[in-house]
Every structure is written in structure tokens, then in C-alpha cells.
């Protein structure tokens, strides 16, 4: 059936497939987001119930921030998929912001005793490149 109507039917079939994949990805991302939220809730309850003498969240604060940022990253990815479903265009600005959040999460949960200087330089370059890219995209969209 796709082949009988020529290129138009084929392209329509591809568009329908892309929409189906985006919808399936949206549902999967909703599941992932819910799992991360449940994981965060369980982690918070455990942290509250097992308070150490050093403080309520001593030693777990970076893990809590990492889980919160994981939720934000999941929401940004879901927003990217939703924007694609609505406009059939990948929004570069959203992708860059999502990438910045992911790199920020990496930096927040980073254990400096286990990371080499080269890795830190790589993260710094990634942040600089993403920031410059974001600035360029913002200027172009104005």
C-alpha cells in the first residue's frame, strides 16, 4: 500500500512511524520519570529515618541533588519529545538546556577524589561549548 501511492504515501508512512515512535518514547519517559520519583521518595524516607549524628542528610546530599536533577532531566527529555510531536521539529534550544542540566548533574555528584584533571577539563570544555551554543541559539531565535 505504501509503494502504490508513490513518494507521498511513503513519506506519509514515515511520518506516521515517527509519530508512533515519539508517542511510545513519551510513554516510556513517563514510566522512567515515575520510577525516578519513587526512587527519590524512597531514598528521602530512608535518609530521614536513618539520621546520623553528623546531621540529617550528612553524606547523602549530593545523591539527593543527583536524583532531583535526574527528574529534571527526564522532564526535559519528555518536553523535547512532546515538542517534537507538536511541531515535528527538534528544538535545539531544549536539547542544549537538557545537556547543560545533565552536565551540571554530573558536576554536582562528582567525587573529586576519584576524578582526574583531564576529566575536569573535559567537563569544563563541555560546559563552555554548551553555553556558547545556547547563547548562539538564543540570539538566532530573537
**Contacts for 1 with CB less than 8 Å, ≥ 6 apart:** 9
Mean pLDDT score, 47-70 = 76
C-alpha cell, 9: 504515501
Q: What is the pLDDT of residue 2?
A: 47
Q: What is the pLDDT of residue 132?
A: 95
Whether the CB-CB separation of 40 and 71 falls below 8 Å is answered with yes
Flag whether pLDDT at 59 surpasses 80: no
Flag whether pLDDT at 58 surpasses 70: no
The whole model's pTM is what? 0.73
Partners of 52 in the β-ladder: 55
C-alpha cell, 56: 540529617
Who has greater pLDDT, 11 or 134?
134
Q: What is the pLDDT of residue 113?
A: 83
What is the C-alpha to C-alpha distance for residues 11 and 23, in angstroms, rounded to an integer? Answer: 18
Amino acid at each position: 500500500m505504501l509503494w502504490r501511492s508513490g513518494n507521498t504515501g511513503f513519506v506519509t508512512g514515515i511520518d506516521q512511524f515517527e509519530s508512533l515512535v515519539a508517542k511510545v518514547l513519551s510513554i516510556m519517559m513517563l514510566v522512567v520519570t515515575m520510577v525516578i520519583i519513587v526512587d527519590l521518595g524512597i531514598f528521602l524516607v530512608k535518609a530521614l529515618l536513618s539520621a546520623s549524628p553528623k546531621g540529617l542528610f550528612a553524606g547523602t546530599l549530593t545523591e539527593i541533588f543527583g536524583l532531583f536533577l535526574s527528574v529534571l532531566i527526564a522532564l526535559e527529555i519528555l518536553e523535547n519529545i512532546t515538542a517534537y510531536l507538536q511541531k515535528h521539529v527538534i528544538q535545539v534550544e531544549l536539547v542544549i538546556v537538557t545537556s547543560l542540566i545533565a552536565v551540571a548533574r554530573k558536576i554536582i555528584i562528582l567525587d573529586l577524589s576519584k576524578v582526574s584533571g583531564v576529566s575536569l577539563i573535559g567537563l569544563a570544555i563541555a560546559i563552555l561549548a554548551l553555553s556558547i551554543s545556547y547563547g548562539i541559539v538564543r540570539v538566532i531565535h530573537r
